[in-house]
Structure 1
Amino acid sequence: MNYTRSDFPESFLFGLSASEPGAETQTKGFDSFRFPIHWHEVLPRGRGQPDGVGVARVERLVETVLERGMRPCAVLDATLVPSELADLGGWRNRDTADWYADFSELVTTKIGDRLFSTVSKVSAEIATKQDSRSLARTLHHRLLANGRANRAMRSLGMSNLGVEIDLQEPGHATLLSAIFSGSYPQDFRASLSAHLPTGWEQDFSTIATPVDWLGTTVHEPRDLKSLTPLIAAETLDTAIYVSVLAESESDLVNHVDAILSSSASMPISGLFVQAENQEVLEALQAALTSTELPAPWVKPTGTVHDHWNLIADVGGTNTRLGISINGTLTELHKYPTGTLEDLREALVGVREKVGTAPHAVVAAGAGPVHNGTIHLTNANLMLSEVELARATGAERTFVINDFTAAAWSVADISDADVAVLQGANTPPAGTRLVVGPGTGLGVGALLYSEGRYHTVSGEGGHMGLSPRHRGEVDVFDAARHIAPDCFFDNSLALEAEMFLSGTGLPILYQAVGVVEGQVNSQVKSAKDILQTAQDGTDACAVKAARIFTEHLGAIMGDLAVALIPVGGVFLVGGVAEKNRWLFGQDFLDAFNAGGRFKKIRRSMNLYISEQKEFGIVGANNFCKNALVQN
C-alpha cells in the first residue's frame, strides 16, 4: 500500500473495527477503535435491570482502548432485538423505540464519560422480508428509536453522536432521506404510507433530529456514489465516516482509492477498517506510521451528567418552573403568567441555562385535559404536550390538571408538613383526598393500591351545592340572579365553586347582602370579605364566611365518605394557609355531620397541608411516578 497519512486531510481519523476478541490490543498507528454494544447482551430482557457481566465486559473493553491510546467509538447495535421484546412485537411495537432509547441512556450513564463517539446502527434489512404493514411499521419505529436515542443521550450531555447505515442494504435510501431530509421518498409513501402508524408525520420532528456525523458501511467502492443525491440536494453536510471490510491488501487499496476520489465532493472525515487477516492489518499500520501521528486525543465537548426534568406549575397569575435532578427540585424560577410566547421563552431560557434538553417536562394547569392539552380556566393560555416538546426538545411531555398535581403533592407528605385538624399526627399510607379552595375549588385524589399511588383526575369543584338550612334558601335564591349560569337547571343547587372559592366568595357575599337588604352594597374581594369577617366589622361578611366554612366542611365530608381516604383528607392552597380561623369547630362539625355515618366521618384523618409551592412539588412527584411507569 503506497498511501501515507500525508495523502489525507490533516484531521482525517483512522480507526480499527472490532473483528475478533483481542482486536483492541492492535493499536499501532490507529487513532480510534470501533466496537459494538449489543442490546441483548447488556439488557437480556430488553428493559429493566442490566446484565452485570455484559456491562462489565463493555467497561473493561473501553478501559483497554483508552490504555492503548485510542479513542473508544461505540456502536449501539439492535440488529437482534432482545427475545422478550420480540415476543411483544419487536420493532412492530412502537414501545420498542422507547426501550431502545432507555438502552442508549444506560450505555451513556455507564461509559459515556469515556467515549469519543457513539453511533446508533439503523438497518432496513430487518424489514425487507415482512408483509407491507409490518415492513412499514418496523422501519418507521426503528427510525423513531434512533431519534429518541439521540435526544436521550444529548439530554445527558453526550456529544459527537452519529447514525450508521449500510449502503448496500435494500431501503438504505429511505433511511437516509428520512433522517437527513425529514421525509420518506415518494416511492415509499406511494406504496407503504397507508400501513404506517397513525400520526407518523409528526414523528419526523424526532426522526430528523440532527446528528453530528454519518457512518456508512461500504462493501464495494462504488457504494459511496449512493450518497451523491443527498449531497447534491444540500441535505447532507455532516461529516462522513466510512467503515469497510478488507479481505486483502488490494481490497483495502481499492477502498482507499474510492475514498480519496470522493473526498473532493463529500465531507469524508475518517475510515474504519475491519481487517480480515494480518496482512491487511500490517499494510495499513505501515502506512499510518510512516509519518507523524495526528494531535493527541481530545475528548468531545460536553460532559455526561444526570438527567434533569423541567417541572411547571402554570397558574392564573404566576408560572413557576423548577429543575428536577434525580427526582429532587434544585431550582425554582417564577414568572408572571402571560401569553404562550412568554411561556415558550421562559421554557427555552431554562433549557439554555442548563445547556441540554430536559429528559421530561410536566406542566400543571387549571382546567380539564383533552388529548394532552389544557385551556387554562383563569388565563388566556393553552398548554399542550406538543408545544412543550417543541419548546424544550424533551422526548416525554405531560400536561396535567392542577389538582392532579395537588393530589400528588401529598404522596410523600410527613407530619412536619401538616397541621392536624382531626386524627393521627402522622398521615398514614392509604388513599388520600385533597381539596383546595383558591381562585377556584379544586379536588384531587390519590388511590392507594399494591403499595403505590395512582392519580385520579376530576372536576369535583363543580359538584352541586344546596342549602343546608332553611335560612339559606333565600341566599341561594338571590344568587340565582347574580350567577344564573352556574345553577343546575331551575333548582337551588349551584356549582360548589361559585360559593367556595376566591372567585365565588364575592358572589356569596353579594347574595347575603341582598337577603339582608343591602341591595347596593359595595363589591368586595374575597380577601376583604374574609378580613372584615374575621374582625367582625361587617355582618354580611360574617354570615358569608360561616356559610363558606360549613359548606366546605360538609362537601369535604361527603367526598371523604365516597372515597374513604384512609391516608387522610388534606386542605391545600392559599385560603387554607392564610385563614386558619375558618377551620375551627364549625368546620369540623359540618365535616363530621353524616347521619348514620357520623362515626366514620369522625374517624377520618383531616389535615391542612403546610407545604410551600405544593403545585410544583406535586407536579414533580407526578413526573417521578410517570417515568417509572413508562
Structure 2
Amino acid sequence: MTDATDLPLFLVADVGGTNTRCALARGAEVQAESIRRYRNDDFAGLPTVLKTYRDAMGATPDGACVAVAGPVADGVAELTNRDWSIDTVRLLAATGARAGAILNDLQAQGHALGHLAPDVCETVCTSAAPAREGAARLVIGVGTGFNAAPVHVTPTGRVVPPSEAGHANLPVRTEAELRLLTFVSTSHGFPSVEDVLSGRGLEQTYRWLASEAGASEERSAAEIMGSLDTDPRAEATVRQAVRMLGTVAGNLSLIHLPFGGVYMVGGVARALGPHLAGMGFADAFRDKGRFAGFMQNFAVHLVTDDHAALTGCAAHLNELAPTG
C-alpha cells in the first residue's frame, strides 16, 4: 500500500470574487485540516494570497492549481467580478511549485466528479437506466454567477472544456417569462441566463415581481431565501428560479447529452436544493415536447460539498503527474 507521504504534495485554491480558499492535497485527496479562507479585499492580488498561504503552511508543493471564477485563455485567468488575473509564471513563483495548472471554477468541479464522497451528491431526478460507463457528464454551477461545463473521459485523460454558458440568452416558455426577459433587457441591455440564475438573479426576479404588482420593493438573495414562509413574493421568486433552472438544465442536457449524469454545484444551487422537488424542477427539465421521454435518460444530482473545486484541482494535478 502506498503511504500518503509518498504521494505528491499539491497546493490548490478556489478563487471567487469575494474569497479565496486554499488547501494542501496529497494526490487527489484534499487535507481538510489545511483549508484556509482569505478575504480578497485584504490582498492586492492572487499571487499575494497564495504566497501568504504557502508561508503560513511552510509547504513546498510539487504542483499548484487554482480554480478561478472567470474565463481562462492561453494559460491566463481573469476574474469576472474582481480586477485580478493569474498566469502560470506567477502561479509558480508565488507557490514555489515545479508544475502548475489554471482552471475555470466549473472545470475544477468537473475534475472533482468521481473523487467526491457519495453522501455529498443528492439525486434530484432519477434516470430510466443506470449511468453509462465513460459517458459524458455535465456540471452546472449556480452561485454568484452561472456557468456549465461538459466532462469527457478520453484515453488520454479527462477533458473539461471551458465555457461561459451563463452569458447565453434566457429561454422563454411563457408570457410571464417574456415579461421577465423584457425587464432584464431594460436593466442590462441583454437578457442573459446569469441575470436570473444567480444570487443577483434572485434579487432581480424579486424586483420584477414587485414591478408587476406596481411596487418597488427590493430584497437581498439571503433575505429572499430566508422569508419563503412569510413573503409570497419571495416564494414566487424561488419558484420562478427553480423552473428556469430546470428549463436551462434541460436545454444544456440536450446539447451535451450527459448520459453519465448532470451535477449542479454552487451556493445558490444548494440553497434551491430543498425546493427543487416541490417547485417543479423535474417537470421543467423534461418539458421538451416530443423529447420529454428522452429526457428520462439524464439523472440530475446536487453536489453539497462546498470544497469540491479544491478536490477537482487536486485530481487534475494528480492526473497530470501520476504516481506509482
Same fold (TM over 0.5): yes
Q: How far did 1:473 drift?
A: 2.4
2:290 is the counterpart of 1:589 = no
Give the direction of change, closer, same or farther, for the CA distance of 1:609–1:353 in structure 2 (3 Å limit): same
User: How has the CA–CA distance of structure 1 residues 325 and 548 changed in structure 2, closer, same or farther, with 3 Å as cutoff?
Assistant: same
| Aligned: 1:319 with 2:20 | yes
Indicate the residue corresponding to 2:50 in structure 1.
Answer: 347
Q: Aligned pair in 2 of structure 1 residues 616, 356: CA closer, same or farther (>3 Å)?
A: closer
Q: CA deviation at 1:572?
A: 1.0
Identify the residue that residue 508 of structure 1 maps to in structure 2.
205
Return the alpha-carbon distance in structure 2 between the equivalents of residues 387 and 378 of structure 1: 20
2:40 is the counterpart of 1:337: yes
Whether the 8 Å contact between 1:311 and 1:362 is mirrored in structure 2 is: yes
**2:245 corresponds to:** 552
Partner residue of 1:540? Answer: 233
Structure 1 position 404 matched with structure 2 position 99: no
Deviations 1:514-556 (A, max 9, x none): 12211x32x2111212332x21x33332332222111110110
Change (3 A) 1:584 1:390: same
Give, as a single letter, the amino acid of the residue that structure 2 aligns with 1:444.
A
Structure with larger RCO (C-alpha < 8 A, sep 6+): 2
Please state whether the residue corresponding to 2:305 is helix, strand or coil.
coil
Indicate conservation of the 8 Å contact 1:415/1:427, yes or no: no
Q: TM-score normalized by structure 2?
A: 0.88
CA contact (8 A) 1:411 1:621 kept: no
Larger Rg, first or second structure (1 or 2): 1
CA contact (8 A) 2:13 2:65 kept: yes
Counterpart residue number, 1:455: 160
* C-alpha distance after superposition, 1:330-379 (max 9, x if no partner): 22222112365464344234434565632211011111112222221122
Deviation at 1:496, TM superposition (A): 0.1
Alignment of 1:34-53 (within 5 A): none
Say yes or no: does 1:600 pair with 2:297: no
* 5+ residue gaps, structure 1: 1-303, 488-493
**Who is 2:263 aligned against?**
570
RMSD of Structure 2 on Structure 1 (CA):
2.5
Deviations 1:482-518 (CA, angstroms, capped at 9, x unpaired): 222xx1xxxxxx1100001002221122122212211
State the Cα deviation string for residues 69-94 of structure 1 (Å, max 9, x = none): xxxxxxxxxxxxxxxxxxxxxxxxxx
Residue in 2 that maps onto 1:359: 62
2 CA distance for matches of 1:446 and 1:529? Answer: 33
> Contact conserved, 2:139 with 2:264, CA < 8 A, in 1?
yes
Q: Which of 221, 225, 230 pairs up with 1:526?
A: 221
Task: Work out the percentage of aligned pairs sharing the same amino acid.
Answer: 27
Distance 1:603 1:594 in 2: 13
Give 1:201-220 correspondences, 5 Å limit: none
Change (3 A) 1:517 1:385: same
1:460, 1:360 → 2: CA distance?
29
- Decide whether aligned partners of structure 1 residues 418 and 457 sit closer, same or farther in structure 2, where only a CA change above 3 A counts: same
Conserved? CA contact 1:565–1:604, under 8 Å: yes
> What are structure 2's unaligned runs of at least 5 residues?
none
Q: Does 1:439 find its partner at 2:132?
A: no
Counterpart Cα distance in 2 of 1:567 and 1:621:
19
Equivalent AA in structure 2 for residue 584 of structure 1: A
Aligned length: 314
Task: Indicate yes or no: 2:84 matched with 1:381.
Answer: yes
Conservation of the 8 A alpha-carbon contact between 2:259 and 2:297: no
Contact in 1 for aligned 2:107/2:149 (Cα 8 Å) = yes
| Among candidates 285, 289, 311, match of residue 617 of structure 1 | 311
CA gap 1:593/1:383 in 2 versus in 1, 3 angstroms:
same
Contact 2:112-2:309 within 8 A present in 1 as well: yes
> Contact 2:112 / 2:313 at 8 angstroms: preserved in 1?
yes
The AA in structure 2 aligned to 1:538 is D
Verify the 8 A CA contact 2:157 2:319 in the aligned structure 1: no
Give how far 1:569 is off. 0.5
Q: What amino acid sits opposite 1:462 in the alignment?
A: H
1:471 aligns with 2:165: no
